[in-house]
Chains A and B, each alone.
Chain A
Amino acid sequence: DGGITQSPKYLFRKEGQNVTLSCEQNLNHDAMYWYRQDPGQGLRLIYYSQIVNDFQKGDIAEGYSVSREKKESFPLTVTSAQKNPTAFYLCASTPAGGHGNYGYTFGSGTRLTVV
């Protein structure tokens, strides 16, 4: 079955360390997105990519980086510049028509904790 796979499910980061969260989709979707979820704050957009080799900053991009070298993959790196990285991270995708027409397909998330 088609879907989005996020790994790992749980991740622990030490202070000053960069970590990379994986997001892979086999839905043949063109656009991919990274969201951060904190309790009581809803979802906030970190980065999005509408096509391969192109991506745009979202509302809270500082301290994060992404790449989109393949259509299927959109990894997120949480850098040491992100001062409060503990959160639940969600990857999503849509076909070319975008969220308005299709809504998001979400992965099952990665919970990142700073130790």
Chain B
Amino acid sequence: AQSVTQLGSHVSVSEGALVLLRCNYSSSVPPYLFWYVQYPNQGLQLLLKYTTGATLVKGINGFEAEFKKSETSFHLTKPSAHMSDAAEYFCAVSVSSSGGYQKVTFGTGTKLQVIP
């Protein structure tokens, strides 16, 4: 079984400051890792994903994340926060299961507040 832990349900940063949202996972098999963003009353949108290969992945809106196997982490970062980054962010892990289905487990989310 896999699990995802997002440290901090709420994170506040000043506009222009570094954004760091933490995600740790556990999985008995190599996982695929994802970050999604959700604006109020909207669906989730894929920010970036790690499947195989390069451990530093770049996504949309200037976000990036680094897969660190030794730390079982996949933290999301952005060098300079913008007001439009205020949203809720979800980390997710995906592993293969029976019948070709890939089981997805989501974290409980981190709400990012950007202070002007």
Contact = CB atoms under 8 A, between A and B. Distances in A.
Contacts of B107: 42
B77 interface: no
Given A42-B108, A100-B51, A108 B43 contact: yes
A90 B94 contact: no
B44 A106 contact: yes
Contact of B46 (A4, A103, A107): A103
Contacts of B45: 106
B9 A43 contact: no
B96 interface: yes
B80 to A, nearest CB: 25
Interface in A85-110: 90, 92, 98-101, 103-109
User: Which range contains the number of A residues in contact with the other chain?
Assistant: 20 to 34
Contacts of B34: 99, 103
Interface in B78-116: 90, 94-96, 99-102, 104, 106-109
A111 B41 contact: yes
Interface centre among A6, A42, A107 (most CB of B within 10 A): A42
B42 interface: yes
12 contacts: A4-B43, A40-B9, A41-B108, A42-B107, A43-B44, A90-B44, A98-B101, A101-B51, A106-B43, A109-B42, A109-B43, A111-B41
The 3 A-B pairs at the shortest CB distance, nearest first, are namely A106-B43, A42-B106, A103-B46
